[in-house]
Structure 1
Amino acid sequence: MELSEHIKTATVEKVLLTRPLEPPATGTLCVTGHHLLFSGSDGRGPVQLQLLLRNVDGVEKSVENLLEHSGLRSRSGPTHRACESSGSLIVKCKDLRVLQLDIPGMEECLNIGNSIEALSSLDELTALYPFYYRPSFLSLQDPWGLSSPERDFRDIEALTDSWRLTHVNKDFAACPSYPPALIVPRCVDDETLVKAARFRQGGRFPVLCYYHRSKGTVIMRSSQPLQGANRKRCREDELLLQAVIDGSPMGYIIDTRSAPLAQQARVTGGGFESKANYSPWRRLHRHLDRGKVLQDSLTKLVEACSDQSHGVDRWLGRLEASRWLSHVQNALAAAGLLAECVEREGRSALVHGSEGTDATLLLTTVAQLILDPRCRSLPGFLRLLEREWLQAGHPFRQRCARSAHSHARPRQEAPVFLLLLDCVWQVQRQFPLAMAFGETLLLRLAQEAYASDFGTFLCNSERERCALGVKEKTHCLFRFLLRPSERDKYANPLYQPTDLAIWPSVHPQCLQLWHGLFFQWTRNNRYLEEAEEEIRCLVAQSRKRSCRQSMSQVGGDTSRTPSTVADC
């Protein structure tokens, strides 16, 4: 079906737009295949709105004179009544914004609402806007992405010869959610890897995701072993894990399920590594909620943040009932435990839950942020996300199909990536000088994951991206964010690099609700944005003064002038 077939009414005049933080505006509303466009005035000046329809999470319709329009004639006749009819649309967005559109004409209102609903929930990925987005300043010939297993392996190869790059998954036969190239122990051959993949859910056998440069320990990730009720074993899987800690007396397995849930998984064919067959490994259970529990938590939190009618006590009660901050606390605590195993205990670790595509990636990402200063730079953080979420197979298409406002929600939906960004924000808040990027980047990523002009977050895996030609037919968000004109927007002006690990506190008094995200459409948060911009200006002025002082000290020494200017 063509996109235009979903549009029954394309343009409506005299529409009243009500939006957060701004006065109402009157103008023309237009629906296209990918956008909702508004052009008008709010009495102070012109108003332009361009809303990507993929950003719409739900639409509520309210119309007047519905009965008359349906055929119950009045004295004035149906034609006159239809002209007087009107309707309102409440458009709830995935970025938590809520817009109201008052549309003259009941039929026009219903048509616009139906068009928005249909175009915002298209199933065909190639019909989405990233496949049509062609800005003049970007080219499809530009390189895609920042990271690759080959590049990561070159960094490790310079430090040790204990690992190798395998292409056992080059046709995605071993594991459909892994990339074609993977880093594994050098002493384990491809035949062993194939057999180990059959023993892990979804074929996600243990692969390396982080190498500790000074200690030589590693973080691996995988899915659960398919042990089942009969407690099957796989010697190839045991051999693979033994090779990971060769020469070390012990390693840790961080299971993101509780011990009872891991036991229950045996009923459906899953399970965990038994002590008898994996004797060098010590298993630790750190339960992290996922799926519907996590989604319901986000919904309750957003509903509480949207309700301005209750007092402080009721607000705090609803915040606690949502349990969102509990999820943040549990995730940070488990990631801190993982980092301690590697940094302070000097042991290698394997992380998995059941599928290994959600909580597992959350832990490995936050742990690397804690341990590795390279992941705290802007390009380093984006490479970390690309490696641990895109290449590692987080199903963005399923998890981010809907957000907090939707009433029709697929079972696979869950805000795991949003939880990760919240955890990063908590670390950023506790260590304001340690990150080269600021909150603005995290807010941008939260928005792009749910609705984007770029193809970065479109699919569930590398296999899907290859099948759809995403890297050839769409633009890369991460490359765009590193353009000189963009990266300054996301830089932390207070950044001071450190080579030390940073250890965030998980005590309740040290965790805060992310106001920049959950209250971003309120007046209070606007003041925070203005304060942040003022800090940027003060830091920029300070650097200019330092530059002028350096130049004056150089004086007439022309041999030092070029380098001084370059530094400034």
Structure 2
Amino acid sequence: MEDIKTPKVDNVSLVERFSSRRNAVGSLYLTATHLIYVDHDNKRETWILHSHISSVGKLPLSTTGSPLQIRTKTFISMTFIVPKERDAHDLFTSLNKMCQPENIEDLYCFRYNIGPDEMEKSYGWSFFNIREDFERMNVPPESWTMTTLNKDYDLCDTYPRHLFVPTAAATSVLIGSSRFRSRGRLPVMTYMHSNKAALCRCSQPLSGFSARCVEDENLFMCIQKANPNTAQLVVVDTRPRINAMANRAAGKGYESEANYENTRFMFTGIDNIHVMRSSLAKVVETCDLKSQMMSAFLNGLEGSGWLRHTKSVIDAALSVARTLEEGSSVLVHCSDGWDRTAQVCGLAQIMLDPYYRTFDGFQALICKEWLEFGHKFSDRSGHIQVDPKEVSPVFTQWLESVWQLIQLYPFVFEFNERLLLTIHDHLHSCQFGTFIGNCEKDRIDLRVSEKTYSLWGYLATHKTEFLNPLYQLEENKKCVFTKPQPTLQLPQSTSQPPQSPSQPPQTFKFWRGMYCRWENGLHPRESLMDLATSYKDHMHSLNDHIKLLKKRIRHLEKKSSDDADIPYINGNNTELQLDDNRLNYKKGLNEQVNLKVQLQEKDVNEHPLIDGENAWSKKEAVVSKPSHPLEFASEQFYPGLSEADITIEDLTEELESIALDWKSVRTATECPCSTPLDFSSFKRHCSRCGGIFCSRCLEKLVSLPGHVTLQQSRVCMVCYKACFPKSMESPE
């Protein structure tokens, strides 16, 4: 708090970039964690985390005041006009100090507290285990084994404790190879294909112009022998060849083909972190252009080269995936093995393994490739004060590569775009301890699992927000990214040709949801994914309600049928003289069921494998005569529902507990709590009243009596109180 010199400034104007209306005027508040702008006239609040701020700039003075331009790592660009230059200078100084603390333990995650009622601090930290992931791959123990050489991080302090290496590799071979590799990152397995071809990763060798290492060469031979398909090993160097040759002058470089037998080398030409940082900066400048001409935007986007760089990452991953499909093991590395290597290995596994395209599998992949095997998140994201040359959007580019794949294959990913955006936002927010530090050892030393919350726990509690409504499990299982895939069966006039990630550059899209997310004037009125999710949830709710109604109708028909068989008039039994076609139909059904039961009993009695002693017990197990011809369809699937003593009040409650009509997403502009609902907001429906609310107002889960499955449904606070009126009363 000592860095805050001016906690509040009034009469601050917010410059509207894409609107003809006059600038908003409000108050600017500076707290220990956020910069808050309150527009009192429009009832709008804008909260910016200090850790999200990437730069604060002072623009030339104007007649109305001193402009401050704030850009964030989530690609928000806001310009505030502060009336007094002194207040602007105080804000400028305070924000520059608070957006990047000097000590990593001063980050927001070490102070953030949700409360035990919403989520325990330990929830989510034990969701994923690297050993369980390798067990899922069915790694053959005769070829690969888990070594404990790195249990204290002595072999490589940026690798995980548990490493899978060839069983034939001796300890001396592993230690020697580690000393020959940059940062000690020796070749280890990160994924095994179903055909037993292995995907390995490492860093560049310390070969210089002529140095060699016998232990490193022997480790290559062990990897080759562990593959039952072929003896050839493919080494993929993700750098441009000229960059790898330049590293030789620094005593590093790449492997010599003369020293490694049965090895094929290839370069994929992905540029380094400095080129990527400059490229993304040009994209941000293009999005901030004052000119609204499409030609200026397209020229700026093409000049940045960002989409071209993203395509090079996807092409490299596709090459690795195809090589593994052919049965050859692959070893991937770049310079230090934690930037381009993680990008290519992660994308290749998404292309090959359907599990990594699911909600849980995608998080497990991030844990393994980026967190366990080390990526300099704190340096690359600029969490604390570091060398600006170390900052680079490596993980952002990887998330965009995944998004590009989702655009090509929308039916095979269980998660949606919002999951990618949420992970990206919380990478920079430092609200959770998941991405703090540069490797697993750093997070253990900081005790983040004890002091901070896990992002995976937060995502698990909000899972419904991140599910893709177009996802189809069978399509995911049979999808092969390495070959052109036909789309789902569509009408002949709208059918599309087979597609593959190796598409021409013009098929790659600009990710408007990431880089222009906050510019409401550039988006349609609603998100298509939100509309699809809303329709799917509504249909699921209605289908569940219809099943209950059918069950109740069958019960009432059965009851009326029983009453019709033995009617009572003035307390005396009388014969039924009515000729009702429905009763005749049911009578015919009863006769058919009785006949079917008799035939089944006959088949059981005459079966040659059943003796006389067990025939009756077997017959009882096979057939059981129902009391109603349609009872099989009701009680068999929903045995937990009792229909005894159902009253009119119960039926009325069931009918009124489900909203048949849901409000349209298109007309929703504001939540009842006054939270604006724009393109980036996730709009949710209350299952009981059908109203639209923000995520914060729709966190209650209840089992509505109008659903036959009694599944947990989200309801607003008003409906929650209506469902539990007694529990909401004051104890007094």
Equivalent positions of 1:139-538 (< 5 A) are 139-157=120-138, 160-213=141-194, 215-229=195-209, 231-246=210-225, 247=228, 248-309=230-291, 311-343=293-325, 345-401=326-382, 410-483=388-461, 486-497=462-473, 498-499=476-477, 500-502=479-481, 503-523=500-520, 525-527=522-524, 529-538=526-535
List structure 1 segments (4+ residues) > 6 angstroms apart after TM superposition: 19-23
**8 Å contact from structure 1 (residues 145, 478) kept in 2:** no
- How much does 1:532 deviate? 2.5
CA distance, structure 2, for counterparts of residue 86 and residue 232 of structure 1? 63
**Change in CA separation of 1:372 and 1:492 when aligned onto 2, cut-off 3 Å:** same
Task: Work out the CA distance in 2 between the residues paired with 1:311 and 1:50.
Answer: 30
What SS is found at the alignment partner of 1:355? coil
Contact 1:206–1:221 (CA under 8 A) maintained in structure 2: yes
Q: 8 Å contact 1:63–1:86 — kept in the other structure?
A: no
CA 1:334/1:226 → structure 2, altered by over 3 Å: closer, same or farther? same
Shift of residue 201 of structure 1?
0.4
Amino acid at match of 1:106: E
User: For the Cα contact (< 8 Å) 1:325–1:513, is it kept in 2?
Assistant: yes
Give the secondary-structure state (helix, strand or coil) at the position aligned to 1:51: strand
Give the corresponding residue for 2:29. 30
**Range with bigger deviation, 499-508 or 544-553:** 544-553
Tell me the CA shift for residue 258 of structure 1: 2.5
Distance 1:447-1:216 versus aligned 2 partners, 3 A rule: same
Instruction: Tell me the distance in 2 between the aligned counterparts of 1:435 and 1:525.
Output: 26
Is the Cα–Cα contact under 8 Å of residues 85 and 106 in structure 1 kept in the other structure? no
C-alpha contact 1:252 1:281 (8 A) present in aligned 2: yes
1:528–1:221: structure 2 CA closer, same or farther, 3 Å change rule? Answer: farther
The one-letter code sitting in structure 2 at the alignment partner of 1:187 is: A
Change (3 A) 1:95 1:538: same
- For 2:196, the aligned partner's letter is G
| Segment of structure 1 superposing worse, 184-193 or 218-227 | 184-193
Is the 8 Å Cα contact of residues 188 and 240 (structure 1) preserved in structure 2?
A: yes
For structure 1, which segment, 231-240 or 544-553, has the greater mean C-alpha deviation from structure 2 after superposition?
544-553
Of 546-555 and 455-464, more deviation after overlay is shown by: 546-555
The whole-number CA distance in structure 2 between the counterparts of 1:134 and 1:93 is: 23
Which stretch has the larger CA shift, 262-271 or 427-436? Answer: 262-271
SS at match of 1:6: coil
Task: State the 1:86 CA deviation.
Answer: 4.4
Question: For the Cα contact (< 8 Å) 2:124–2:455, is it kept in 1?
Answer: no
- CA-CA distance at 1:59 after TM superposition: 1.3
Find the aligned partners of 1:547 and 1:432 in 2 and give their Cα distance.
26
Shift of 1:277: 2.1
Q: Residue in 1 aligned with 2:110?
A: 131
Matched AA of 2:278: D
CA contact (8 A) 1:146 1:386 kept: no
Where does structure 2 lack aligned partners over 5 or more consecutive residues?
482-499, 555-630, 641-707, 713-732
TM-score for the superposition, normalised by structure 1 = 0.88
Q: Secondary structure at the match of 2:295?
A: helix
Deviation at 1:540, TM superposition (A): 1.9
**Which is worse superposed, 328-337 or 236-245?**
236-245
CA distance in structure 2 between the aligned counterparts of 1:184 and 1:528, rounded to whole angstroms: 53
CA drift of 1:145 comes to 4.9
Identity %: 30
User: What TM-score, normalized to structure 2?
Assistant: 0.69
Question: Which amino acid is 2:399 matched to?
Answer: L
Q: Does 1:99 align with 2:78?
A: yes
For the residues of structure 2 that align with 1:325 and 1:15, how far apart are their CA atoms?
37
CA shift, 1:263, in A, is: 2.5
CA contact 2:201–2:331 (8 Å) conserved in 1 = yes
Could you tell me which residue of structure 2 aligns to residue 558 of structure 1? 635
* Cα distance in structure 2, aligned partners of 1:496 and 1:438: 13
Residue 238 of structure 1 deviates from its aligned partner by 1.6
> How far, CA to CA, are the matches of 1:567 and 1:159 in structure 2?
41
State whether residues 234 and 328 of structure 2, in contact with CA within 8 Å, keep that contact through their aligned partners in structure 1. Answer: yes
Q: What SS does the aligned partner of 2:471 have?
A: coil
Q: Kindly state the Cα deviation for residue 508 of structure 1 after the two structures are TM-superposed.
A: 1.4
Give me the whole-angstrom Cα distance separating, in 2, the residues matched to 1:457 and 1:223.
Answer: 22
- Bigger relative contact order, structure 1 or 2 (CA pairs below 8 A, ≥6 apart): 1
CA distance in 1, matches of 2:468, 2:17: 27
Pair 1:187–1:529, CA change in 2 (3 A)? farther
Question: Once the two structures are superposed, what CA deviation does each residue of 1:419-450 show, in whole Å capped at 9, x if it has no partner?
Answer: 10111011000101110011111111222222
Is the aligned partner of 1:542 residue 2:522?
no
What's the CA shift string for 1:209-244, capped at 9, x where partnerless?
Answer: 11112x011100000111112x22222212222112
